Amino acid sequence: MPRSATGELRHLAEGFAARITIGGRERRDFPLATGLSEEQAAARKAELARMAARLRLAGHKDKLLKLISSAAVARPGRPWETIAAAVDLLCSGQTETAKKVPTFAEFAGQWTGGELAQRFPDHVRTKRSSGRDEELLRLYVLPHVSDVRVDEFDLNDAEVVMASLPEVNARTGRALAPATRRQVAQVMSRLMNLAVYPGKWRTGSPIPRGWLPSATSIKAKECLYPSEDALLMAGKSVEMGKERLRADVPMLRRLAYGFLAREGMRTEEMASLRWRDVDLTHGRVNLERDKTDDPRDWDLRPDVVEGLRRWKERSKPHDESGDFVFSEDGVPLNVAHMAEQVRNDLRRVGVDRPQLFEASATRQRFRAHDLRATFVTIALAAGKTETWVSDRTGHDGHTMIEKYRRKARTWNLGELGPLHALIPELAEAEQTVRITPRLPLKLTARVAKQADAADLGSAAARHKGSTPFPCTKKPILLAILGGGWPLGPILGPNE
């Protein structure tokens, strides 16, 4: 009777390794899971040797290395049982491949890349923007648990990630905010919930209820003053000391800033807006899907409607129904770094209010998202109801809107000016006024007739080379009340 495979246990500096026969005289060392006693390591070594022998006899030498490597580091319990069951199925001939459990990094990539949303559209929402989650995973989570399988991830792994968070934000160079710590924990919790269902890699999440850290830091946020908004919409750069930010602010960015501050959309909603979503005839906008999957539509401000209408005229030929509203030469506006852009653009136009640019333990620098906060604050200050605001912003709770009420109660700066009038490129080239005649009817008709003759080129003007108006010493003052007819050089005759 052939001798049963037992393998050889080898002592390492930190743990044990099992030397297992791969085929013929070829043998390999497989590091075992950490934390095993010598007795447990010996038992694991023997199991691995028998498992390798079965795979060789079943003709699965090509899969042997991968399966034995996974089994060697598998933790006792379900992780080990899963691999053992896969080997049993493979050797019995009931299946050709073992179901591969993804690592934390692989499963996270399926989530942020949209694969999970495509496979399970009823249970995983398509991410509008995965940049923040990808950043948190890349900077803080994956360096510690990248190779851990999702069915083996436990609370200890999550706590290792949290304990390893740096004191300084890797991107900004400032102290890591409590909100960022909570976001890191939320990303791990979300992935574990997805691994339970629809992933079905686990029977439950290892992260208990109440484990997420509290984001206790409430920082002061700022709104744009109407005068600052007017400067930003004009977009003319001024010399700012040593920085010398002299380039004018591009019109597309100014239009986006003004739109956000006047309509309260989220930045990503604005960037994805297409002409088919905007009804310029009736002055309405329709958002079919948003961050909360809650379709909404509302009446736009009249000045925003007029501004978009004039922008559409300038945007030809990129004004088809499927084209992005906020794009130039067919290229959509990039909002990835809009927070920094809006601060630089405010400096360019001469806005230097310290509260917009200073960050501290109690204050947050102005961001593109704060244009939305500007909208909410001014709307509440103007007496708009919470329902009216949430219909436009999409806030799904009372708590978020309530955060802006204190500033709204003390706001006495008024509303933002008309968008189409503040952006020079969209403003009318010449102003028109309406003339209300205050002369006797007979004299008024004569003046109007002579004005028409001058516009068309009268016979007197052609033959005599002079104006049809007689010389005057005392012009008649006309009352101009604004809007309607173009103002011509109408002067009345002597009384």
Cis bond leading into 295, ω under 30°? Answer: no
Cα(48)–Cα(56) distance, integer angstroms: 12
Computed from CA positions of residues 258, 262, 268, 272, in that sequence, does the dihedral angle turn out positive or negative? Answer: negative
**CB-neighbour burial class of residue 342 (10 A; exposed 0-12, middle 13-18, buried 19+):** buried
Cα(168)–Cα(291) distance, integer angstroms: 29
SS3 assignment, position 168: strand
**Side-chain half-sphere exposure of 40, counting CA atoms within 13 A:** 13
How far is it between the farthest Cα atoms of the chain?
A: 136
Poorest-pLDDT segment among 49-58, 285-294, 445-454: 445-454
Is residue 67 a contact partner of residue 19, using CB atoms and an 8 Å limit?
A: no
For residues 345 and 236, what is the distance between their CA atoms, to the nearest angstrom?
10
CATH code of the domain made up of 226-422: 1.10.443.10
Quote the pLDDT of residue 242: 53
Give me the half-sphere count of Cα atoms (radius 13 Å) on the Cβ side of residue 341.
19
Q: What is the pLDDT of residues 113-144, one digit of tens each?
A: 989 989 898 888 876 656 789 989 999 999 99
Higher pLDDT, 456 or 31: 31
| Amino acid found at 32 | L
pTM, two decimals, is 0.57
CB 280 within 8 A of CB 309: yes
Q: How many whole angstroms separate alpha carbon 491 and alpha carbon 478? A: 8
Q: Which residues contact 374 (CB under 8 A, 6 or more apart)?
A: 223, 224, 229, 261, 416
pLDDT for residue 177: 80
- Cα separation, 83 vs 86, in Å, equals 5
The residues pairing with 35 across neighbouring beta strands, listed in sequence order, are: none
Does residue 109 carry a pLDDT above 90? yes
Please give the pLDDT value at position 6: 76
Q: The tokens of 28 are what?
A: 């390999």
Q: How far is residue 395 CA from its own chain's centroid?
A: 16
User: How far is the C-alpha of 28 from the C-alpha of 49, rounded, in Å?
Assistant: 11
**Predicted confidence band of residue 306 (pLDDT cuts 50, 70, 90):** very high
The domain segmentation of the chain, as residue ranges, is 8-92, 104-196, 226-422, 430-495
What is the structure's pLDDT at 467? 40
Distance between CA atoms of residues 270 and 394, nearest Å: 13
SS3 category, 175: strand
